[in-house]
């Protein structure tokens, strides 16, 4: 396909390469700037000549090099800006800090998790070190620290490091890609807000608190927690059991306000505005709906998943207004390019990767799948279309799902059909509740319907989660395997579109061989023998013998969230029957 028809598809490839390769080639900010300026100057000189377009290969090589060094420079700048002072001399020492709380949430274990933009303050000298973005966790208390509060605290920061047990969630990778590399645990007596809470709470936060209180008046328990997650994007009230049920059914994306919610919300707004189609044109209705989406993004606190989804759908729907066909993927690439220019770290964000690969799958595979399945009954066609959308998204997200979560939800088709319908109804009821909360009888009725809908949704997810063989776990694949899977998937698509039988057979054979390797590794993970212990963490030990997983902890930690997390993470990669053994029994066998 010609370059000018899909320019952003071609431009985003060297741009992402420039971002990613900064980890492999340690290039300083000064060198990145020099290389970009040199490449850009050469590009200008080349295109200023009369025969510039005669050298197609040279033109594209220099153009792609310029885009590559642009990505490289942006990532170098972000690394310098987000990690200005990471020397070991500044860690593991108690110091005074001042800063601003930019994000706050409660954990299930009773801690308040905060992100703080802070600087060190040395009261014995006039020097103040460069501000940076850090995370700290401290016990929950009655004097809760709220977002946007100015605080002063006394803490000892440490680098975020993984323990290293098999299947562990990569916290170091997760937080580093958000520009956060240090963590501190602070006692409640060592932190204090130094500004008025009411003065520092911005209007969007006040609106979000008001909306939560409206939900709280009508809902309770996990119904309130689920509504808070689905409508306002706050998951802190969800229990481990609820989260695990959604994970087992392949519906974790439901719990985060992401592409699915924004897409449903946009369609819902367009449907409501279509009732006034005589007064509002399609263009005006779309622009008004997008404006409301951005207002929604502001209210939810501009969380990365919401901003990412709103930006993506903004470009998609604005592009559709132009009336040009076959530009959806190009528009998708443009939205990704702009987001990566704003924050190159998004490329490592799991939500970013899943959102864009899912949309890519829908654009590429859904039209083909829809042609293969059709019905003359309208209600059945709606179900088929919804199913095919889920299948198309699952095809392109499958490699990432296996890599990050080591599991595959076997009943994802059933779950997606049911929960897409529930999400639509819940968002509609939520909008109605917020709109008519001031009408006494009506808000009670809407709240009751919403509560019953939430209860039914939780029961369905719990039922599917407990079905036999609901989840296949134990998958462990490498980055090389991911690349090979995507090559096989897209070559198969290409062969189907352009009817290349030889390529189709090669793609199927290649995909089958990769699948056999993955399943062989999975079988080995089920029955392998492992003994794990860590010198720095002597409080637990893991022994896997065939299909039995022995977790040796001190008995007082049996019910702790950390113990449950270790067991869950290990079992996701090395499935087996979990057996908890008190550590004191190992050292005192007579007990």
pLDDT of residue 123: 45
User: Could you tell me which CATH number the domain at 88-199 has?
Assistant: 2.40.50.140
Tokens linked to 173: 């990778």
Beta-bridge partner residues of 192: 152
Type and span of the H or E element at 155: strand 150-156
CA distance 77 to 32: 9
Q: Which residues contact 90 (CB under 8 A, 6 or more apart)?
A: 120, 129, 157
CA-nearest of 300, 221, 217 to 256 is: 300
CA distance 143 to 193: 9
Tokens linked to 491: 């070559």
The answer to whether 116 and 138 are in contact (CB under 8 A) is no
CA distance 330 to 336: 10
CA distance 61 to 81: 30
pTM, to two decimals: 0.80
pLDDT of residue 47: 67
Type and span of the H or E element at 515: helix 501-527
Domain ranges of the chain: 3-82, 88-199, 205-473, 479-524, 530-587
pLDDT of residue 540: 80
CA distance 399 to 559: 34
Tokens linked to 459: 């029961």
CA distance 527 to 544: 8
Mean pLDDT (10-residue bins), the chain, 591 residues:
67 87 72 74 69 63 82 81 58 79 71 75 48 60 68 83 80 78 80 66 76 87 86 78 80 69 79 78 83 81 73 78 65 85 84 83 84 78 79 86 85 78 84 86 89 90 86 86 90 82 85 89 84 73 86 79 82 86 68 48
């Amino acid at each position: 396909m010609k370059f000018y028809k899909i320019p952003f598809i071609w431009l985003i490839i060297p741009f992402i390469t420039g971002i990613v390769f900064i980890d492999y080639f340690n290039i300083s900010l000064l060198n990145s700037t020099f290389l970009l300026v040199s490449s850009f100057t050469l590009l200008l000189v080349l295109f200023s000549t009369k025969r510039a377009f005669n050298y197609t290969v040279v033109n594209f090589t220099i153009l792609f090099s310029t885009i590559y060094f642009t990505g490289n420079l942006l990532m170098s700048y972000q690394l310098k800006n987000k990690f200005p002072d990471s020397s070991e001399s500044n860690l593991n020492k108690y110091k005074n800090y001042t800063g601003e709380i930019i994000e706050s949430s409660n954990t299930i274990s009773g801690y308040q998790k905060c992100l703080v933009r802070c600087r060190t303050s040395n009261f014995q000298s006039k020097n103040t070190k460069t501000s940076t973005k850090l995370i700290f966790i401290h016990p929950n208390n009655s004097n809760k620290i709220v977002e946007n509060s100015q605080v002063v605290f006394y803490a000892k920061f440490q680098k975020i490091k993984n323990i290293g047990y098999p299947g562990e969630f990569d916290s170091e990778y997760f937080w580093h890609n958000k520009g956060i590399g240090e963590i501190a645990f602070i006692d409640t007596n060592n932190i204090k807000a130094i500004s008025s809470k009411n003065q520092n709470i911005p209007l969007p936060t006040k609106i979000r608190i008001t909306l939560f209180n409206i939900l709280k008046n009508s809902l309770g328990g996990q119904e309130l927690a689920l509504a808070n997650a689905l409508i306002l994007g706050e998951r802190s009230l969800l229990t481990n059991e609820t989260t695990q049920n959604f994970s087992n059914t392949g519906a974790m994306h439901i719990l985060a306000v992401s592409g699915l919610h924004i897409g449903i919300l946009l369609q819902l707004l367009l449907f409501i505005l279509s009732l006034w189609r005589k007064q509002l044109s399609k263009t005006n209705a779309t622009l008004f709906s997008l404006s409301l989406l951005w207002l929604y993004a502001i209210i939810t606190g501009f969380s990365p998943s919401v901003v990412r989804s709103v930006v993506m759908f903004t470009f998609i729907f604005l592009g559709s207004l132009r009336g040009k066909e076959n530009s959806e993927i190009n528009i998708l690439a443009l939205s990704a390019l702009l987001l990566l220019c704003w924050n190159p770290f998004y490329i490592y964000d799991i939500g970013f990767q899943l959102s864009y690969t899912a949309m890519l799958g829908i654009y590429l595979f859904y039209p083909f799948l829809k042609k293969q399945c059709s019905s003359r009954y309208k209600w059945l066609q709606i179900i088929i279309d919804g199913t095919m959308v889920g299948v198309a998204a699952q095809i392109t997200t499958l490699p990432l799902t296996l890599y990050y979560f080591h599991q595959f939800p076997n009943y994802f088709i059933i779950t997606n059909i049911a929960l897409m319908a529930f999400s639509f109804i819940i968002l509609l009821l939520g909008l109605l509740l917020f709109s008519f909360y001031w009408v006494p009888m009506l808000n009670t009725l809407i709240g009751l319907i919403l509560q019953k809908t939430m209860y039914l949704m939780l029961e369905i997810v719990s039922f599917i989660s407990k079905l036999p063989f609901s989840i296949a776990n134990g998958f462990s694949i490498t980055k090389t395997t991911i690349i090979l899977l995507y090559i096989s998937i897209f070559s198969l698509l290409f062969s189907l579109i352009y009817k290349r039988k030889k390529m189709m057979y090669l793609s199927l054979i290649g995909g089958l061989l990769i699948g056999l390797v993955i399943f062989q590794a999975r079988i080995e993970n089920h029955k392998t023998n492992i003994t794990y212990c860590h010198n720095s963490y002597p409080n637990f030990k893991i022994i896997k013998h065939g299909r039995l997983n022995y977790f040796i902890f001190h008995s007082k930690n049996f019910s702790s969230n950390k113990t449950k997390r270790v067991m869950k993470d290990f079992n996701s990669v090395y499935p087996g029957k979990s057996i908890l053994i008190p550590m004191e029994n190992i050292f005192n066998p007579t007990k």
